[in-house]
Structure 1
Amino acid sequence: MLTLIEGGRVYTPDPVGVQSILLADGHVGKVGEVDRSALERLGADYEVIDASGCIVVPGFIDPHTHLLGGSGETGFSTQTPEFFISEIVRFGITTVVGTLGVDTTMKTMAGLLAKVKGLKEQGINAFCWTGGYDVPPSSILGTVREDIMFIDEVIGAGEVAIADERALAPDPLQLARTATHAHVGGMLAKKAGLVHIHCGDSDRRLSVLRDVLNDHDVKPSWFYSTHIERTEKLVEEAIELSNQGMPCDMDVVEGDLHRWVRYWLDHGGNPERLTVSSDASMTGHGLVWQQVRECVLEHGFTLEQMLPMITRNTGRILKLREKGEIRKAFVGDLVMLEEGSLEIVHVISQGKMMVRDGKLTCEENWLKDSDREIHLSGRKNEGGSDDD
């Protein structure tokens, strides 16, 4: 099946004007002028999507999401349920990277890997980090190196917690060993091999990372720190290490992404080393696009400034091959946004329509054999929540 998208203003994520996009076998076959009569002469089935009045952008990549749900840090009854594909793709996210957090007892690596494989079966790109807050991280095959090398979906280790009362306070040697194992595993398997670092709210901030870098043969580019938007001092320390090569991530849980992206840029942060994630557990995946959209519509950022933080930057940093851009031979992950409002109109994952005219066209595979009825709607408390 071929899909021809016509009339849309394309961001690759760089703006390239009105272009046609031809999808073939789940990938981008061409960006530019496409001769529809030539397709007809081939005799192949094809669908035409009129994207007039729309902006066409790459599918969004969420590098940090608790796919199995939150840990329930105030009691077993406060655990949150796992996420379903319909909760993810409806907000333009076509690639997710799942992670465990403080709880590696009830939320296990085997369970996370199974969830990732299930999402892949349903048509989106899904990966995971191996481990959790613990050092050495929990793994499936025995070490993070083996997980990265031999499990396709595992791209790195984490989220390892530092500067947090829930962390095991890893010493520099432990962290250096974990980083080396992950790096070597990534090098041998042609993967990112990063250690994904959870930055807590302790005054220690990133001090242990600096100790690792000062005392061991470890490079800043082997780490990928998240939750760096907690304080201005933490952002400044993250910028310092980022300018030495460490990529960084900001989550959107608190709803103030515009403030922290501005602070990053105004204080010398490299925009190409910054990504945005949902940290979905208590809050959902929809905040990613909601916050990016508000940055553009209400806070003076341009679309070309913000899009790379949820597309190209993430794909490059995590070495997710053929993802994060609209380019020939890249995976056919696209989102079509309404001009002006930037509301999501269509979502395509791997060449397959998942959202059409704002309505889901996919559903969880298990529903066809189930008589369950589930109707849940969260009532977020004023002020928000940050439950990893």
Structure 2
Amino acid sequence: MLTLIKQAELFTPTPLGTKDLLMGGGKIVAIEDEIKISSNLAVNIIDGSGFILTPGFVDSLVHITGGGGEGGFTTRTQEMALTEATTAGVTTIVGALGTDAITRTLPNLLAKVNELNQLGISAYCYTGSYQFPVKTLLTTVQEDILLLSNVIGVGEVAIADHRASHITCQELIRLASEARVGGMLAGKSGIVSIHLGDALEGLELLQQAVSQSNIPASQFYPTHINRSEHLFQQGLAWAKQGGFIDFTTSTTAQILAAGEVSAAQALARALQADVPLRQITFSSDGNASLPLFDEKGHLVDLQQAQVCSLHRSFCEAINEHGVAIGDALSCVTQNPADILHLWHKGRIAVDLDADLVLMDKQSLQISDVWAQGQRMVEQGKAMVTGNFE
């Protein structure tokens, strides 16, 4: 069935004003000032007046099979349910392993990716985890990226963190080279997702890898750049040199009090510092643990990250920090899609996937969500759920 959304304020994420949008067959069919259907085809018409229509959100880091465990077996976090993503406007998701790559496995991660794809959203994953040497599904990182359709990169490899494997510069260069070539051969990004801890060296290892090789800064995708003021300042310099920076939206009051910069504030400050918008993204780190360690590395608190923080930080950037809607939207749609080479995602244009979010123009509350043309959320209620939700 065709679906026609009429007279919504359209953000592609660039603001285009009031438009009609027609979708069918999972794709965007037409965008016009006014679309009239004169045939006898069945059309579901939705009044978009009073709403903004945006691309579906792209969350580039979610622990879809759960994570955590830094405080023992009782602190292992839960798997992500489908509706945790869809009700938050997320239609494209990238799964990853983290600290625990023993009880959380790559076969389980890939199975979860397949589950989410069958339920209607678009899911991908990274091979590997925090650790080095990297565990893979096939023989090598390059084989995983080249031969497994839903594997688009490697990570999140941990650096500057007491939980990391303390990968050397040369090892990181070889890993990035392998991922890069795998991506080239497969027509994928081959991105290297980098977890940044709170150690003072921060981004120094990435700087060394770029300066000592022919690997461009854009091959790396460092996240948690807002973890501390020190790391945030390093991130600004890195982005101005052509690197990407990802701000984590999930947090707690205790972590903010310990010095983390909120994602919304980090975005506003980065733009004020003339960091190119296209270099900046948000990700939720959903279903990961949010551990707080003391100066000796002892765990003092642990909470679970939430995918819905992506939309919450998007709203906060606009409402509390004065970021333009289109700019905030780019960080959760077009920018991550481009970095990951998901060219059919993250923007609204004819022939692209019909991944769409309808939000109230005043409150920015999510009303409806479509993933590849399928209505996943209607007037705030999930219409598609996992079998055991």
TM-score by length of 2: 0.91
Change (3 A) 1:268 1:17: closer
Structure 2 match to 1:287: 309
Instruction: Give, as a single letter, the amino acid of the residue that structure 2 aligns with 1:242.
Output: A
Classify the secondary structure of the residue corresponding to 1:245.
coil
Structure 2 match to 1:164: 161
Classify the secondary structure of the residue corresponding to 1:55.
strand
Q: Does 1:245 align with 2:245?
A: no
What is the alpha-carbon distance in structure 2 between the residues aligned to residue 298 and residue 73 of structure 1?
A: 33
Return the offset for 1:160: 0.3
Q: Does 1:146 align with 2:143?
A: yes
What is the alpha-carbon distance in structure 2 between the residues aligned to residue 56 and residue 212 of structure 1?
A: 41
Aligned residues: 364
Structure 2 match to 1:303: 325
Classify the secondary structure of the residue corresponding to 1:304.
helix
> For residues 1-388 of structure 1, what are the structure 2 equivalents within 5 Å?
1-38=1-38, 41=39, 43-254=40-251, 256-281=262-287, 282-364=304-386, 366-367=387-388
Instruction: Give, as a single letter, the amino acid of the residue that structure 1 aligns with 2:263.
Output: L
Tell whether the 8 Å contact from 2:18 to 2:33 is kept in structure 1 after alignment.
Answer: no
Calculate the aligned-residue CA RMSD, in Å: 1.3
Displacement over 4 Å in runs of 4+: none
Tell whether the 8 Å contact from 1:55 to 1:337 is kept in structure 2 after alignment.
Answer: yes
- Provide, for residues 97-131 of structure 1, a one-character-per-residue CA deviation record: whole Å limited to 9, x for no partner: 00100111011111101000100000001001111
Instruction: Give, as a single letter, the amino acid of the residue that structure 1 aligns with 2:268.
Output: R
Instruction: Give, as a single letter, the amino acid of the residue that structure 2 aligns with 1:179.
Output: A
Tell whether the 8 Å contact from 2:20 to 2:35 is kept in structure 1 after alignment.
Answer: no
What is the alpha-carbon distance in structure 2 between the residues aligned to residue 23 and residue 246 of structure 1?
A: 35
What is the alpha-carbon distance in structure 2 between the residues aligned to residue 322 and residue 231 of structure 1?
A: 34
Classify the secondary structure of the residue corresponding to 1:342.
coil
Return the offset for 1:35: 3.8
- Provide, for residues 63-101 of structure 1, a one-character-per-residue CA deviation record: whole Å limited to 9, x for no partner: 001001122210101111101101110110001000100
What is the alpha-carbon distance in structure 2 between the residues aligned to residue 298 and residue 179 of structure 1?
A: 38
Return the offset for 1:267: 2.7
Structure 1 match to 2:294: none
What is the alpha-carbon distance in structure 1 between the residues aligned to residue 358 and residue 209 of structure 2?
A: 43
Return the offset for 1:34: 4.9
Classify the secondary structure of the residue corresponding to 1:63.
strand
- Provide, for residues 310-366 of structure 1, a one-character-per-residue CA deviation record: whole Å limited to 9, x for no partner: 0011111110121000101110000001111111111111101111011111111x3
Instruction: Give, as a single letter, the amino acid of the residue that structure 1 aligns with 2:348.
Output: I
Instruction: Give, as a single letter, the amino acid of the residue that structure 2 aligns with 1:162.
Output: I
Instruction: Give, as a single letter, the amino acid of the residue that structure 2 aligns with 1:210.
Output: Q
Tell whether the 8 Å contact from 1:136 to 1:178 is kept in structure 2 after alignment.
Answer: no
Tell whether the 8 Å contact from 2:4 to 2:44 is kept in structure 1 after alignment.
Answer: yes
Tell whether the 8 Å contact from 2:268 to 2:321 is kept in structure 1 after alignment.
Answer: no
Classify the secondary structure of the residue corresponding to 2:331.
helix
Tell whether the 8 Å contact from 1:236 to 1:267 is kept in structure 2 after alignment.
Answer: no
What is the alpha-carbon distance in structure 1 between the residues aligned to residue 276 and residue 236 of structure 2?
A: 8
Instruction: Give, as a single letter, the amino acid of the residue that structure 1 aligns with 2:340.
Output: L
Tell whether the 8 Å contact from 1:22 to 1:34 is kept in structure 2 after alignment.
Answer: no
TM-score by length of 1: 0.91
Q: Percent identity?
A: 37
What is the alpha-carbon distance in structure 1 between the residues aligned to residue 193 and residue 234 of structure 2?
A: 16
Which structure 1 residue ranges, 5 or more long, are not aligned?
Answer: 368-373, 375-388
Return the offset for 1:57: 0.5
Change (3 A) 1:2 1:34: farther
